[in-house]
Amino acid sequence: LGPAAPCSSHYALCNASASGNIEKVLLLLQAGANVNGLNRFGRTALQVVKLGHSALVEALLDKGADPNALDPVQYLSVTHDAAREGFVDTVRVLIDHGADVNRVDQHGNLPVHLAEREGHQEVVKLLLEHTADPRGPNTRSELRP
């Protein structure tokens, strides 16, 4: 990685994660890239991961990626993103690695609300098994405890 590795390796890690390149991600992590290092937009490799690549998500989490880090602009967790997009396997991996499914976004939405709104019933079912109060602060939700 060269002399600039401490600064540039997490940028490379974020780029590999965003493109879904698990081989490169694993090589960079093995070479010492900071799994929670930020790219120029203030996001970690997990926050920019190509959703749907649950093996890649799991590899990052196994190396210590923070499943509860919030996006610096939209204040969403990766669980919110994966739930909204319907990636049930990714949501399951996040839950298994300590993701907080009871965390609300800036509009009072839990991940389950976003999955419900988009019609991802399999994700809704999974999240309901782990959500303390499915209504949360979002009073418009049709979900019931």
Per-residue pLDDT reduced to its tens digit, 22-58: 999 999 999 999 999 999 889 999 999 998 899 999 9
Q: How many CA atoms lie within 13 A of 127 on its CB side?
A: 35
pLDDT band for 138, please (50, 70, 90 cuts): low
33 and 54 assigned to the same domain = yes
Structure pTM? Answer: 0.86
6 and 38 assigned to the same domain = yes
Q: How many CA atoms lie within 13 A of 71 on its CB side?
A: 15
The number of domains in the chain is 2
Query: Using alpha carbons only, how large is the chain's radius of gyration in Å?
Result: 16
Q: Name the domain boundary from 20, 38, 65.
A: 65
Q: Name the domain boundary from 10, 43, 65.
A: 65
60 and 72 assigned to the same domain = no
Residue at 20 is within a domain: yes
